[in-house]
Structure 1
Amino acid sequence: MKRRKMLYLIMALVVVVLFAFGWRITSRSAYESAAYDVVKSEGDFEVREYPDLKLAMTSSEFDAQGKDGSFMRLFRYIDGANQESQKVAMTTPVFMEPEHDKVAGQMAFVLPQKYDSQTVPQPVSEAVQIQERKGGRFAVIRFSGRLNQETVKNAEAKLRDWASGEGLVCQNEVEYAGYDPPWTPGPFRRNEVLIRLEGETTTR
């Protein structure tokens, strides 16, 4: 009897793990994701080359985690609050930049690749701007859990140590990226810290 109960417990755990893994993968795969090429990979660390990306961007306080209205401003834009009243597909990741050198923090949605400067819908709100994120090479670390000051600072420190050991020169500014909806459990979340590398640019 005990062996049977143990078998049922193991089977239940396997089902839960498989369900969680499958849900995580399918929830992400439903969205277009910002393109990049992996130049180097080592565990949780990567060097990536990004092309130019078009972003819908708004001011944001990182500690607020979108509760300052920044996320909803961007969501309303892609939901049709633009001059063309056009729905814009949600993509991943959501980029965030903390405040630095007296420059306000930012939150940004990546716009689908089909848009160029002529076809991208223009926001009706002055609080949302269309900007270009210049392509280039970035050092990146991936981690799970929640995005907060503690987790991103720890990840940034690890990333800078790794990059230094690889002979890479990092710029001072840092970006954070989140790939999952807010309700995704911490262990299944994909978060990243990205730092642009000095002298590494691309014109793709």
Structure 2
Amino acid sequence: MKPRLIAPALMSVALSACSVVGIRSGTPEPKYRVIGTVGAVQIRQYAPRIAAETTVHGSVYHARSQGFRRLAGYIFGGNRTRAKIAMTAPVAQASDAPSEKIAMTAPVDQSQSGPDAWTIRFYMPAGYTMETLPVPNDSKVHLVTVPAEDYAALRFSGVPNQTSVAREQARLLAALKSSAWTPAGEPAAWFYDPPWTLPFLRRNEAVVKVTRAGATPG
């Protein structure tokens, strides 16, 4: 094999092993359209959507881990109809429950909701309503309707720890200072990949709700 062909060949092997290294595979995202850019920052307009959310107290990493487990309990059968909601593909539910398959969407959303308090969200698939989604068994898990919103998003890779997330959120806010977009809340972080994904292949985003400069926040 010629030397110049080694790198493409290795990349092909790496990408063919996506399921092994934890790359998301076919997971849908909430619908949005890009309505502007500010350098590397995308301005996205999101349609209304439904999320399962929970609030956890503690450090940012502890909250993410505990909140993820709590919400995973809901989507993997911890609900009144025992419906199972897969992270990357529909999974059939228990044989003694009504047949139902639900695909979950990415990303996992983490935002600060108070001193040492964090809200973690899983977004539900399009096509479901508050009436058709199964009711959580855990009283700490809530289904909420998220209205249409505009978000600024800055993508970054690597393992998302408190330092890297804070750094990227600062970069995001700095980029918006000289733009036509004004932050309309505190920045949050979105995570798209399972924890075993290779760091350089991870998709993370620093995000903040925005309005056009001079407009009244919704």
Hey, what's the Cα distance between the residues in 1 that align with 2:14 and 2:42?
25
Hey, what's the Cα distance between the residues in 2 that align with 1:20 and 1:55?
33
Distance change in 2, residues 1:124/1:65 (3 Å): closer
**Equivalent residue, structure 2, for 1:64:** 62
Listed as ranges, the matches of 1:175-190 within 5 Å are 175-190=188-203
Question: How many residue pairs are counted as aligned between the two chains?
Answer: 193
**TM-score normalised per structure 1:** 0.84
**TM-score normalised per structure 2:** 0.79
**Equivalent residue, structure 2, for 1:77:** 74
Structure 2 gap ranges (5+): 86-102
Q: Which amino acid aligns with 1:59?
A: T
Question: Whose helix fraction is larger, Structure 1's or Structure 2's?
Answer: 1
1:192 shift after superposition: 0.5
* Partner residue of 2:138 out of 116, 125, 145: 125
Distance change in 2, residues 1:51/1:103 (3 Å): farther
Hey, what's the Cα distance between the residues in 1 that align with 2:39 and 2:17?
23
Q: Is the 8 A contact 1:54 1:110 kept in 2?
A: yes
1:78 shift after superposition: 0.7
Listed as ranges, the matches of 1:24-35 within 5 Å are 24=18, 27-35=23-31
Structure 1 gap ranges (5+): none
Hey, what's the Cα distance between the residues in 2 that align with 1:164 and 1:43?
12
Q: Which amino acid aligns with 2:10?
A: V
Q: Is the 8 A contact 1:137 1:200 kept in 2?
A: no
Does residue 40 (structure 1) correspond to residue 54 (structure 2)? The answer is no
Q: Is the 8 A contact 2:38 2:176 kept in 1?
A: no
- Give per-residue Cα distances to partners, 1:3-26, cap 9 Å, x unaligned: x7xx46x54432222233455599
**Aligned-residue CA RMSD in angstroms?**
2.4
**Equivalent residue, structure 2, for 1:15:** 9
**Equivalent residue, structure 2, for 1:96:** 110
Over the matched positions of the two proteins, sequence identity in percent amounts to 27
Hey, what's the Cα distance between the residues in 2 that align with 1:179 and 1:19?
22
Q: Which amino acid aligns with 1:41?
A: T
Does residue 173 (structure 1) correspond to residue 180 (structure 2)? The answer is no
Q: Which amino acid aligns with 1:166?
A: S
Q: Is the 8 A contact 1:24 1:188 kept in 2?
A: no
Hey, what's the Cα distance between the residues in 1 that align with 2:42 and 2:185?
18
Secondary structure in 1 aligned to 2:117? coil
Hey, what's the Cα distance between the residues in 2 that align with 1:177 and 1:99?
15
Hey, what's the Cα distance between the residues in 2 that align with 1:126 and 1:93?
23
Q: Which amino acid aligns with 2:61?
A: D
1:115 shift after superposition: 0.9
